[in-house]
Amino acid sequence: MASGFFALLDDIAAIMDDVAAMSKIATKKTAGILGDDLAVNAEKASGFVSNRELPVLWAITKGSFLNKLIILPVAFLLSAFLPLAITIILVLGGLFLAYEGAEKIYEYFFPHKHVATEIIVQDFTEEEILSLEKDKIKSAIVTDFILSVEIVIIALGTVIDEPISSQIAVVSIVSIIATVGVYGIVALIVRMDELGFKLIALSSKESSLSKTVGNILVQALPKIIKSLAVIGTIALLLVAGGIFIHKIEFLHHLFPQWPSIIREFGFGLLFGGIVLVVVNLFKKMFKKI
């Protein structure tokens, strides 16, 4: 009886080891999306009144958890009854990621005007500020939904040949890590300037350590958000290219002598550019109509 119990514990430990190993691989595969998710949400969560940043971020985090509660059951059902759909969604998601990356590069070289979205307290009543907050939260949650679909499908794609129980465990773990990790880091980033201002206020001396560190934190915030955007763009193209190479047989055997990172970035940029041209042509056609 005792030997049977310990054998059961040994089996459970082995399963947990397998799940941990697969979760590590799946998390690596989704790292590119997480980088973009981090950059997007850091931008979305900024621009609020200082004492509203964390409540707004918490509202977006709850929305992100709700998004994943909706996406996960649908993804598992597709995996169980229509696994081919996962591959199709994965490739379509890759095209979207490649398009997003290519569009950001195109926007860098050929920028167009954006409407400012920062909430300026002096120009609005408290009721109007709360209304704008709600709009921005909704926008952030919608963006998170799209990114969450990509994270879940990519994570699921890494364990698609495993039993459904392993799929549920691995993808659920990755989803929790993605939400807690991304929004935890975003919270630290958006509060950097507030911490900097507090350090500056600690000392009246111009050359004090607290003022120096405080100034560095305040000045670093916009640079960090910009650098995250660049890293996120590169990561998008690498992830997209990796999907194409592993899921499209023809591309898998093309240019095998090239380093994998060059192949992934190249194919990601190529397909992203093609989709960008097609989308822009459709936009021009609809404008004419």
pLDDT band at 2 (very low <50, low <70, confident <90, very high): very low
Query: CA 259, CA 38: separation in Å to the nearest integer?
Result: 27
How many domains in the chain? 1
Q: What pLDDT, on the 0 to 100 scale, is given for residue 282? A: 87
Q: Is the pTM of this model over 0.85?
A: no
pLDDT band at 5 (very low <50, low <70, confident <90, very high): very low
Q: What pLDDT, on the 0 to 100 scale, is given for residue 273? A: 92
**Mean pLDDT, residues 185-213:** 76
Could you report the per-residue pLDDT of 50-86, keeping only the tens digit for each?
666 778 788 888 888 898 889 889 888 888 888 888 8
Average pLDDT, the chain: 75
* pLDDT over 50 (residue 286): yes
**Mean pLDDT, residues 257-267:** 87
* pLDDT over 70 (residue 192): yes
Q: What pLDDT, on the 0 to 100 scale, is given for residue 244? A: 87
Q: What pLDDT, on the 0 to 100 scale, is given for residue 161? A: 72
Domain that holds residue 75: 2-288
Query: CA 279, CA 239: separation in Å to the nearest integer?
Result: 21
Query: CA 95, CA 7: separation in Å to the nearest integer?
Result: 47
* pLDDT over 60 (residue 252): yes
